[in-house]
Structure 1
């Protein structure tokens, strides 16, 4: 149930001046918002300032709300064309995070160490975006220049990036340096765009900004009297398109429950917003009861009476989830391809339309081995994850900073993988295009080569002799889930041509599509596994 908008109440507002926006915001694949329409959309080229206060009174498992600037035309996980903060349930507290995303699906964000209790206490917030500021690359503290690592990303060893480990190394040059003084110097370097910070699960990580001269634009975000978070825009996203046509409160396209939150004392670009009376903002599904169409691993793909990819109704595709390796809900929709091997010349082609995609999602389309695919993995086991032995085709690979990649690949029977994972961006722009995939076992001096095309862009990659010798056997062709944990994509295929090897006299078995009922996982708030 969604039940939020304007009310003459005083949860976030004071009792002397009631009037606020808020209420119960539910996670849902169905978009919901209550927001002020902006006459001229704001962009990454505009100076932006937002402040106000909020009160969180109730927080359900995996409940999320978002507040700030966004584009009303698309509803996704990380919100298409947005600049906003979110309150994200984490062990009965709301962790505060800040996200921004361009209109071409380049996403960035910052997880803060701020946790908000759902106790109704009032909290102030402010974020300011300056599109013109650039770093002074000459001002990096010599001590930090020596002891900060250049290895970026939160997947690196904590011994390289952790604040306490940096202090240990720095003591070799400044034995009297305190943790407080080091932290102050790190924050100053971040303010200047010369150091980057990442927080998750209580770990505070720092590293040198790889190319500070390419930073252009800075965002400053502060909760209450907490230390401000400084976020720089890299050149890539700064030059990307973005249009924010709404300002207000909106939900997230994700499984989970919801939360009850209120906002007041709002100021946008220096202009106070009067909430003492109904502002008549635009509401969309913000007060309604609904049957939630979505929960984690609720696959819904196969034959479809739609025409996203082709001209006439009738195609294959739908909603496909990226699942945990040990989730028994893995699925495929495929034709019996007979018996094909890596020794055969194999090709397929058709039309494809990428309709929607959430962060941390993917799918596979092509040839695979039924027996290998049906193997149920134990989480963390040696054989867990994706790809499975004997797969050849196309994956969609999500990368938050980029969007998605069209990524052809081939995995032999020994799980050796080759492919092109980061050459062509492929975005959920809902525009159909042609594609092809061709495997030639005789090319590359007999080791084998894959060539492919997507919307006029071409590429190729070679197999190794070791991979070719390992072999691969394929007996299915179609669409399948990826088992790495994550979220969902919606994609469709039509006008397909593909190779099979079957006895022409053999009787083909028709398998009707069936719906499998799975109870909604109430206790885990929409996540089955």
Structure 2
């Protein structure tokens, strides 16, 4: 007689214990610090000095024209600008501006043009139609950029065409001299999608607005000088005069009293790359029921140097691709700089942060989870990815890519890995109510295998810029 017939309750208890032994999940709400394991997640890399000292000044390289707009401008994660307030304009509105610029020899980079004061949070900066001027010592480069309200960008360059390479190269423009520039936006250009035409020292760049970007829309309510809002970097000196904005000549014989935000400051910046600063937090950005979550400022790492590799994660039993894995929770994306990535999922506390000289893979070894990143032309996606204990990893993007915006909106997410009958497997990621984004994992990759013993954030292996991300109310596999 079977145990099920002899003692049904004992059989049920045995069955439940067997199921528990097969798989176990844990839920964390972060109302208190869970004491997760961390590596370099509260980095002590030296902070960089930032000096912002720009606005109106009586100084000018052309004294007969009166004063100038400009001064010392330093890239940093904290926004700073000096700009003329304007009535709101959209991509249905013609826009124009012109003037002179002097870029002093040295470093630094700035944005010059039309933008929206409410969305100055990162670079690429949404709702911008601008020049980007990059100091390069004795010379500088000039690029042209449009970024829509959805963080999707298109760009051009003041450059020369290289016929052999079939590409444009930025012109090396000598610093310390006065140059004329113009900006013109035609809403009817490019067959009605819009076109942004810029000239610098007589060289023209035309940025065509695609129908998709036109549909995204953009709103502009300022014109002026703005920092490139990414991370602390070397500053430079830039000066404008002979300004005309939408047909209005700007009188610089006196202070025009433009709006000033963060333009007079001197501090050590926590936004120093790659000064990781993430872990448990008493904040409540991700939409949890109570304060308490985890996340913060996360950079791409660099596997060549131990201090630029980082993680923060819960300890788990030894996990693998041989059995299912699952995780879910809430997430909020608060800030995303171009050329940045956040990785989150299952990883290994040694293999995934192994110091090595290879720059072949951006994904760390022994990882399965999801990434927040994307090309500038498309903004940001949240999508599944993986790498086994070797070179095997996903390449490119899967279908059904959900977009995620660095606008502070909380989202629900779910990650599921399932081994397949053919020796392969698949990993799926769902954001809110979007269709699952699914990656098939080939059988040879699963045969190579991967080992996981942590769940949380882990840094990529090729360096880049930063994001601010928080998560809460996570449930995840701890035992298979």
TM bin, normalised by shorter chain, reads: 0.7 to 0.9
Q: Which residue of 1 aligns with 2:393?
A: 417
Instruction: Quote the offset at 1:91 in angstroms.
Output: 4.6
Q: Could you tell me which residue of structure 1 aligns to residue 361 of structure 2?
A: 385
* Equivalent in the alignment of 2:284: 307
- Alpha-carbon deviation of 1:379? 4.5
Instruction: Tell me which stretches of 4 or more aligned residues in structure 1 moved more than 3 Å.
Output: 418-422, 443-447
Structure 2: distance between partners of 1:410 and 1:260: 44
3-state SS of the aligned residue for 2:381?
strand
Shift of 1:56: 2.0
- Which of 308, 316, 341 does residue 337 from structure 1 map onto? 316
* Structure 1 segment 52-451 matched on structure 2, within 5 A: 52-60=99-107, 63-73=108-118, 74-112=120-158, 113-119=170-176, 121-134=177-190, 216-225=193-202, 227-253=203-229, 254-309=231-286, 310-328=288-306, 329-380=308-359, 384-418=360-394, 420-421=397-398, 423-441=401-419, 443=420, 447-451=424-428
Once residues 272 and 319 of structure 2 are traced to their aligned partners in structure 1, the CA distance between those partners, rounded to angstroms, is 36
Aligned-pair CA distance for 1:117: 2.9
Distance between the aligned counterparts of 2:111 and 2:424, measured in 1? 52
Number of aligned residues: 412
The alpha-carbon deviation at position 430 of structure 1 amounts to: 0.7
TM-score, normalized by length of structure 1? 0.74
Q: How far does the alpha carbon of each residue in 1:156-199 deviate from its partner, in whole angstroms, 9 at most, with x for none?
A: xxxxxxxxxxxxxxxxxxxxxxxxxxxxxxxxxxxxxxxxxxxx
How far is the alpha carbon of 1:421 from its aligned partner?
4.2
TM-score, normalised by the number of residues in structure 2 = 0.82
1:187 is matched with none
Structure 2 Cα separation of the partners of residues 21 and 386 of structure 1: 42
CA distance 1:444–1:282, shift in 2 (3 Å): farther
Instruction: Give the corresponding residue for 1:186.
Output: none
Aligned to 1:42: 89
**Which residue of structure 2 lines up, in the alignment, with residue 26 of structure 1?**
74
- 2:60 corresponds in structure 1 to 10
Show the counterpart of 1:458.
435
Query: Where does structure 1 lack aligned partners over 5 or more consecutive residues?
Result: 136-214, 503-529
CA RMSD of superposed structures (Å): 1.9
Residue 29 of structure 2 corresponds to: none
* Contact in 1 for aligned 2:144/2:205 (Cα 8 Å): no
Contact 1:390-1:415 within 8 A present in 2 as well: no
Note the residue ranges of structure 2 that are not aligned, 5 or more in a row.
1-50, 159-169
Deviations 1:275-308 (A, max 9, x none): 2111111101111222222221111111111111
1:398 Cα deviation after fit: 2.1
Shift of 1:20: 1.6
Structure 1 counterpart SS, 2:212: helix
> Is the 8 Å Cα contact of residues 349 and 497 (structure 1) preserved in structure 2?
yes
Q: Secondary structure at the match of 2:467?
A: strand
Which residue does the alignment assign to 1:184?
none
Offset at 1:22? 0.9
Q: Alpha carbons of 1:469 and 1:110: their partners in 2 closer, same or farther (altered >3 Å)?
A: same
Are the equivalent residues in 1 in contact too, given 2:74–2:236 (CA < 8 A)?
A: yes
The alpha-carbon deviation at position 356 of structure 1 amounts to 0.4
